[in-house]
Structure 1
Amino acid sequence: MPRYFAYGSNMLHDQIGARCPSQKFICVAELPGYRLAFTRYSPKRQCGVADIVPAPGESVWGALFEMSMAETKRAEIPNFTGGEAAAITKQGNPYIFRTSFTQDTAMPKVARYIANTLNAKTLALIYVNNDFGKGGREALMKALEPLGVKVVADISTDQNQLDFSAPVLKAKQSNADVVFVYSNEEESARALRELRKQGVAKPIVGETVLTSQKVIELAGDAANGAVAHVGLTTDAPIPAVRAFRERFEREYKFIPDHNGVKGYTSVFILKAAAEKAGKVDPKAIAQALHGLSIKAAQNPGVLMDVSFDANGDLDRESFMTEVRNGKQEVKEILPALGAK
């Protein structure tokens, strides 16, 4: 994920260029007179801290790195995260903003697909036992209950788990109508390979990670047939997204996944918020982001219309995808929850 995320936000001429084999640019986010600077990564701190400072030049070269929520809250600096755990934006931090859906937004969409499109009545859930997995489990359970879908196998797995034979066997023995896999990239790929190995023929569904480019690469043919709701995909039939993917592939010689889009669009969301605030001040930018709606027609770098609520959660169109012949394909475009 870090490679996709960092390359997607590769806008800083000097510092990012020094970390890549050569300096390459997909596009540039500009704010006259300012640059985005950051401290170097520290293995001890496990984070970087960013700030926006005046510069004598005429352009901004934006970069995005992983930051600590507590650290940036203390520094009163906007923090963009690609994390989907529901708890992230429930802590009252006014400086945290998502580049992807919260689980509370995404799970109702995939739950409706399971109940209404697959006509499933029972489900086996394989999830990773960390904050991400537990948050997704809770959101999925909550979304499935009013739809009449019963979870008949609730299977916890460890982060970095290598052997999925036992969890898959439990899911298989439950005879559920659908198997739902919710884990990190490497673990999701291992689960898919084991599901195919044990001959599980039921639909395999997930959310975002399951049909990501990284999982497809790791799982190989075992990924074919997997279905997932995704908030972002470079396979989206949207001209701006396709153009981004083409530029990215041309420069880096590999296909970006949703993490690359997150990194790329974050810089332009920051730019739009600074313009809305009328000044390049971190506190003012954070205030401007709350309740902000950004139209791609006026801000092409965001790729798709996007809006933020008072918690820093975002809303926009999303997609149901399926892996076919080793490629993620969009089955359906789902409207933003707030669309009228």
Structure 2
Amino acid sequence: MRSITRISVFLLGLALVQPLLAQAQPVKIIGLVELSGTGATSGTNFNDGVKLAVKEINAAGGILGRKVEYTSSDTQSQPQVAKALAMKAKDEDAYVVMGPVFSGSILVSMAETRRAEIPNFTGGEAAAITQQGNPYIFRTAFTQTTSMPKVARYLKDNLNAKTVAIIYTNNDFGKGGRDVFTKALEPHGIKVAADISTDPGQVDFSGAVLKAKQANADVLFVYTNEEEAARALRELRKQGYDKPIVGETVLTSQKVIELAGEAANGAVAHVGLTADAPDPGIRAFAAKFQKEYNYKPDHNGLKGYSGMYIVKAVTEKVGKFDPKAFADAMHGIRLSVKDYPGVLMDVTFDKNGDLDRESFMTKVANGKQEVIATLPPLSAGK
């Protein structure tokens, strides 16, 4: 009888202790990021942004009393590597996956996080990412269907453009952006004078630039990754191109400015996030990031940082660590900086996982990105 009593007491004690042990265990966030290869600049910024947010969150007591354990793996900028790493996320007991940043990688890897029912935040911009009915995918950046109409409106209202030449990268990111952009031009009556495809990692842009010059369009729209954008700008200046050069996010990024040097001056781009925004919270983030990593963050750094704080905010709204409940709560949610300063800007998410918020038009002057206009959320114009 005494043995039975002892066992009963032991089991009762175990039942009481287990929830406390679970509460004490860290919540695991897995990063799938481009730390090498063509996406290293983007992935490193994104990863460092997440790490900075995690450091701050843990210093403030964690999420619902639990510390955050963040571990990141290098996708090598390869979609199949990203897919293989995503398959391991469930075995690693991931609560949320952050990344990849490149559209080509997330389009492949997100099937695995969906199968595992793990919420997945991405920095990718390809429209197709959130058009597949995946309830577990969420953006930290605008989809191309949100950003490109803003660019098209700028070309019409500010540059009075009637024709445009396009230089784009022939990958999921570039092709997707090119397709959405050309469609966004139609309501404004802007015609495509030259449609110029380039390869990922392309070094020589002399032929592409020559085609753009011969098209004699009112504006040139450049939509490539960082290294290619810098090479294109250098070649454009070398060949004396004198028409407005406009892009989306990448073209005026810190990395492009560093690589292109003086050739970046005059370039204009729409950006969803920028460390140069005239906002005290964003400026404070940029200063903390610079101090922590000794370099200036680009838009990907802000994506990672704000994305991690969105994870914190929504988890606290749900009140528990439940991936499905988290994903359900994300759809239609509104988060304000007043209530959740770490999200950096007021933001809303729709039923597809796309976000909407204010954004900025930027221009490179004297080797620095400057904000020349703040644009309202796209939904504000509907």
How far did 1:90 drift?
0.5
In the other structure, the counterpart of 1:158 is: 199
The one of 318, 332, 335 aligned to 2:373 = 332
Gaps of 5+ in 2: 1-41, 101-105
The alpha-carbon distance between structure 1 residues 216 and 26, as it changes in their structure 2 partners (threshold 3 A), is: farther
1:32 paired with 2:64, answer: yes
1:41 paired with 2:73, answer: yes
Q: Distance in 2 between matches of 1:271 and 1:94?
A: 19
The one of 145, 152, 163 aligned to 1:122 = 163
Q: Distance in 2 between matches of 1:240 and 1:116?
A: 30
**Secondary structure at 1:320's aligned position in 2?**
strand
The alpha-carbon distance between structure 1 residues 50 and 244, as it changes in their structure 2 partners (threshold 3 A), is: farther
**Secondary structure at 2:229's aligned position in 1?**
helix
The one of 203, 225, 236 aligned to 2:244 = 203
Q: How do 1:252-271 residues align onto structure 2 when only pairs under 5 Å count?
A: 252-271=293-312
Q: Distance in 2 between matches of 1:290 and 1:215?
A: 34
The one of 39, 44, 47 aligned to 1:3 = 44
Cα displacement string for residues 282-311 of structure 1 (whole angstroms, at most 9, x for unaligned residues): 111011000000001000000110000000
Q: Distance in 2 between matches of 1:247 and 1:293?
A: 26
1:138 paired with 2:179, answer: yes
How far did 1:53 drift?
9.6
How far did 1:193 drift?
0.5
Q: How do 1:213-292 residues align onto structure 2 when only pairs under 5 Å count?
A: 213-292=254-333
Q: Distance in 2 between matches of 1:76 and 1:286?
A: 9
How far did 1:84 drift?
0.3
Q: C-alpha root-mean-square deviation of aligned residues, in Å?
A: 2.3
Work out whether residues 177 and 223 of structure 2, in 8 Å CA contact, stay in contact via their aligned partners in 1. Answer: yes
Work out whether residues 26 and 251 of structure 1, in 8 Å CA contact, stay in contact via their aligned partners in 2. Answer: no
Q: Distance in 2 between matches of 1:116 and 1:331?
A: 14
**Secondary structure at 2:121's aligned position in 1?**
strand
Q: Distance in 2 between matches of 1:242 and 1:65?
A: 24
Q: Distance in 1 between matches of 2:336 and 2:372?
A: 24
Amino acid corresponding to residue 34 of structure 1 in structure 2: R
**Secondary structure at 1:134's aligned position in 2?**
helix
Work out whether residues 306 and 316 of structure 1, in 8 Å CA contact, stay in contact via their aligned partners in 2. Answer: yes
Cα displacement string for residues 150-188 of structure 1 (whole angstroms, at most 9, x for unaligned residues): 111011111111110001000000111101100111111
Amino acid corresponding to residue 41 of structure 1 in structure 2: S
Q: Distance in 2 between matches of 1:202 and 1:40?
A: 42
Cα displacement string for residues 109-147 of structure 1 (whole angstroms, at most 9, x for unaligned residues): 010100110011110000111111111111111111110
Q: Distance in 1 between matches of 2:74 and 2:220?
A: 40
Point out the structure with the larger helix share.
2
The alpha-carbon distance between structure 1 residues 264 and 63, as it changes in their structure 2 partners (threshold 3 A), is: farther
Work out whether residues 64 and 316 of structure 2, in 8 Å CA contact, stay in contact via their aligned partners in 1. Answer: no
Cα displacement string for residues 297-327 of structure 1 (whole angstroms, at most 9, x for unaligned residues): 0000001100000000000000000011111
The alpha-carbon distance between structure 1 residues 70 and 182, as it changes in their structure 2 partners (threshold 3 A), is: same
Work out whether residues 233 and 264 of structure 2, in 8 Å CA contact, stay in contact via their aligned partners in 1. Answer: yes
Q: Distance in 2 between matches of 1:188 and 1:103?
A: 18
**Secondary structure at 1:97's aligned position in 2?**
strand
Gaps of 5+ in 1: 14-24, 55-59
The alpha-carbon distance between structure 1 residues 239 and 63, as it changes in their structure 2 partners (threshold 3 A), is: farther
Amino acid corresponding to residue 126 of structure 1 in structure 2: I
Q: Distance in 2 between matches of 1:52 and 1:282?
A: 15
How far did 1:70 drift?
1.1
The one of 153, 173, 197 aligned to 2:214 = 173
How far did 1:32 drift?
2.8
Amino acid corresponding to residue 215 of structure 1 in structure 2: V
**Secondary structure at 2:338's aligned position in 1?**
coil
How far did 1:45 drift?
3.9
Q: Distance in 2 between matches of 1:91 and 1:37?
A: 30
Work out whether residues 38 and 51 of structure 1, in 8 Å CA contact, stay in contact via their aligned partners in 2. Answer: no
Work out whether residues 35 and 53 of structure 1, in 8 Å CA contact, stay in contact via their aligned partners in 2. Answer: no
The alpha-carbon distance between structure 1 residues 81 and 63, as it changes in their structure 2 partners (threshold 3 A), is: closer
Q: TM-score normalized by structure 1?
A: 0.89
In the other structure, the counterpart of 1:22 is: none
Q: Distance in 2 between matches of 1:250 and 1:258?
A: 17
Amino acid corresponding to residue 101 of structure 1 in structure 2: F
In the other structure, the counterpart of 1:21 is: none
User: Which sits farther off after the overlay, 64-73 or 77-86?
Assistant: 64-73
Larger radius of gyration, structure 1 or 2? 2
How far did 1:277 drift?
1.7
How far did 1:36 drift?
4.2
